[in-house]
């Protein structure tokens, strides 16, 4: 991952919006200066609706963190991305973040619209290889009875990678694996090992192209990644910028 030179990152937004984002998300959001607006990518995969990023190779931790931060921010502040149908950024180093794109509405970010997506998906019928991201808001329903459902913001991105689990700087514990219909590859479920951190992520391979990995994050970390990087100090300035 050595030197992911994300120098020159300047915000696409004005300072006021930057500040607002920072207030909302608690994150500083650096935007690469070479971001462009590619044509709108069409993803037929329902699970990719919402926000997704396409990467040609495995993500460097920095790039993955950037993707998380940026996308989480987009989930939080969908309106600010309204003008930007897509975002494209590229990284040097280990991984390249080709494009970040979102479909209108941030469908997967907000629970109200999830059902709509499900219905439209179901109605499409046929041999669509799409598979939805299930409604998982009923966490611990039995234990906490009268607790209201809370929809955590989530986002996903697609990566060309040989390894399933991308190193994003966080520690994850696998808690489940499931074979989803019409796919030959199982879907894995991970939870952040940090105490009191309920962030989950799921990893699966794209049925159409097994070389592609779809990583879906749900929730946002309320802590820094617990990396055991030896030279974390040298990268700390970069890391701190992200987190």
Partner DNA sequence: CGTTTTTGACCGGCGC
Partner DNA sequence: GCGCCGGTCAAAAACG
Q: What angle do CA 105, 110, 111 make, to 5 degrees?
A: 130
Closer Cβ to DNA, 79 or 142, answer by number: 142
Phi, psi of 211 (to 5 degrees): -75, -15
How far from the centroid of its chain's Cα atoms is residue 179's Cα? 21
Point out which residues bind DNA (CB under 7 A).
115, 118-119, 122, 131-136, 138-142, 171-178, 180-181, 187, 189, 193, 200, 202
In degrees and rounded to multiples of 5, residue 112 shows phi and psi of: -60, -30
Decide: 150 and 47 in contact? Cβ < 8 Å: no
Closest distance of CB 150 from DNA, Å: 12
Q: Which is nearer to DNA, 84 or 118 (CB)?
A: 118
Q: CA–CA separation, 108 vs 51, rounded Å? A: 8
- Closest CB to DNA among 8 and 138? 138
Pick 71 or 133: Cβ nearer DNA: 133
- 133: region left, alpha or beta (phi > 0 left; psi from -120 to 50 alpha): beta
Alpha carbons 198 and 205: distance in angstroms, whole number: 23
Nearer CB in complex with DNA: 79/173: 173
């Amino acid at each position: 991952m050595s030197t992911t030179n994300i120098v020159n990152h300047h915000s696409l937004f004005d300072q006021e919006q930057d500040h607002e984002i920072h207030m909302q998300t608690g994150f500083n959001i650096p935007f690469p200066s070479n971001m462009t607006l590619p044509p709108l990518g069409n993803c037929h995969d329902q699970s990719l609706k919402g926000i997704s990023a396409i990467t040609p190779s495995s993500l460097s931790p920095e790039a993955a963190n950037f993707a998380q931060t940026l996308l989480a921010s987009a989930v939080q502040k969908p309106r600010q991305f309204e003008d930007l149908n897509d975002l494209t950024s590229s990284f040097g180093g280990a991984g390249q973040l080709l494009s970040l794109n979102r479909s209108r509405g941030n469908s997967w970010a907000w629970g109200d619209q999830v059902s709509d997506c499900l219905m439209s998906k179901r109605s499409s019928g046929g041999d669509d290889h799409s598979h939805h991201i299930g409604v998982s808001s009923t966490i611990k329903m039995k234990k906490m009875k009268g607790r209201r459902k809370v929809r955590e913001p989530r986002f996903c991105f697609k990566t060309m990678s040989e390894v399933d689990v991308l190193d994003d700087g966080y520690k994850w514990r696998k808690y489940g694996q499931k074979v989803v219909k019409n796919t030959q590859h199982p879907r894995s479920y991970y939870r952040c090992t940090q105490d009191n951190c309920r962030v989950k992520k799921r990893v699966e391979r794209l049925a159409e192209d097994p070389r592609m990995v779809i990583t879906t994050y749900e929730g946002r970390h309320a802590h820094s990644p617990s990396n055991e990087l030896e030279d974390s100090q040298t990268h700390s300035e970069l890391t701190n910028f992200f987190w």
